[in-house]
Structure 1
Amino acid sequence: MSLSPTRRDWRLMLNDVVHGITAWHVWVLLGFSDIRQRYKRSKFGQFWITLSMGIFVAGIGIVYAFLFNQPIREYLPFLAVNMVVWTLIAGIVNDATLTFVQASVYLRQEAMPKTVFVFRLLVRNLIAFAHNLIIIPIVWICFLVVPSPAMLLAIPGLALMMVAAFLSAMIIGILSTRFRDLPQIIQNLLQIAFFMTPVMWRVDQMGAAAWYIVGFNPFAVFLRIVAEPLHGRIPGVATYASALVVIAVLTLIAAPLFARFRARIVYWL
Structure 2
Amino acid sequence: MDDKARRFRALHEGPGAFILPNPWDAGTARILAACGFAALATTSAGLAFAGGVRDGGTSRDDMLAHCALIVGATPLPVSADLENGFGDSPEAVAETIHAAAAVGLAGGSIEDHTGRRDAPIYDFSLAVERIAAAVEARQALPGDFVLTARAENFLWGRPDLDDTIRRLQAFEAAGADVLYAPGLPDIDAVRAVCSAVSRPVNVVIGIGAARFTRDELAAAGVRRISIGSSLARLAYGRFARAAQAMQREGRFDFLDEAMGFAEIEAFFTSFAARER
More strand by share: 2
Does the pair score TM above 0.5?
A: no
The TM tier, using the shorter chain, reads under 0.3
Q: Which one scores higher on RCO, CA 8 angstroms, separation ≥ 6?
A: 1
More helix by share: 1
- Which has the larger Rg? 1
Normalised by the length of structure 2, the TM-score is 0.25
